[in-house]
Amino acid sequence: MTDAPRACVIGWPIAHSRSPMIHGYWLAQHGIAGSYGKTAVHPDDLGAFMQRVRSGEFRGCNVTVPHKEAVMSHLDEITETARAIGAVNTVWRDDDGRLVGDNTDARGFLSNLDELVPGWDKAPLRAVVLGAGGAARALAYGLAGRGAERITLLNRSLDRAIALAGDIGGVVQARPLDEAGPAMADATLLANATSLGMTGKDPLDLDLDALPLDAVVSDIVYVPLETDLLRQAAMRGHRTAEGLGMLLHQAVPGFERWFGTRPAVDPRLRSLVEADIRSALP
């Protein structure tokens, strides 16, 4: 194994990733003589790259699209959380040289809400989650673990939402998107888990009139930093949580695994990444 610990983020493509900025900030802050980079890994080369991790060249890696599901077949152990979500975004090499995979998205989402909207999860917690993809699965899993009384998935394709609700079970239910009004009528949390509203994507067209004014509104999209959903919610007086914090908080567990120090998401890091996002906007 190399003397200085190394980690990286892998994906295809990967140039857009801000993970090196986040982990580089923490490495400098804690005076750790390690490195964190980004590596473009073609899907055909995923197995070969994971062998490099297994050999000790890297302490581990973050995993982004399109590898979050495919990487699971190259690991020795998958945490209960990653198995339930069906995807891995964080891999580390343990003391026995085994590769372990976890998913920190649910933790990142919850931690961001804890930081920005303290008390958001007080009972009764009734959540409405927009979407039925991987992000919606992570959010629903995390919210169920927080003791949600009810989690309603709203999606254009009802079949996908029904399938996801069945996978997680318990308090999760599915409704079509055109029933958003009734679904939100007694919600305490509304969370967008789709890419709608992201720069370059279709807008999110959602009427918030039925949402109680004391409900919290969250959006996993962080480009732009304030989406139309969050702007509309803030104008109505809702407490809000942007998506950047989820990105920052989901990075914490991996850094601790690879570099042995638990970092904190502080205002300076937020400002640094915010400035980078703004500079990249047209």
Cα dihedral 261, 266, 271, 272, rounded to 10, equals -10
- Would residue 38 show up in a list of annotated catalytic residues for this protein? no
Q: Which residues are annotated as a binding site for NADP(+)?
A: 80, 131-135, 220, 243
pLDDT mean across residues, the chain: 96
Q: Is the pLDDT of residue 17 over 70?
A: yes
Packing angle of the helix pair 105-116, 252-259 (nearest 10 deg): 120
DSSP result, 231-276: HHHHHHT-EEE-SHHHHHHHTHHHHHHHHS------HHHHHHHHHH
Is residue 280 over pLDDT 90? no
Read off the amino acid at residue 165: A
Summarize the annotated binding site as residue ranges: 17-19, 64, 80, 89, 105, 131-135, 220, 222, 243, 250
* pLDDT tens digits, one per residue of 19-77: 999 999 999 999 999 999 999 999 999 999 999 999 999 999 999 999 999 999 999 99
Q: Which of 38, 68, 122, 201 is catalytic?
A: 68
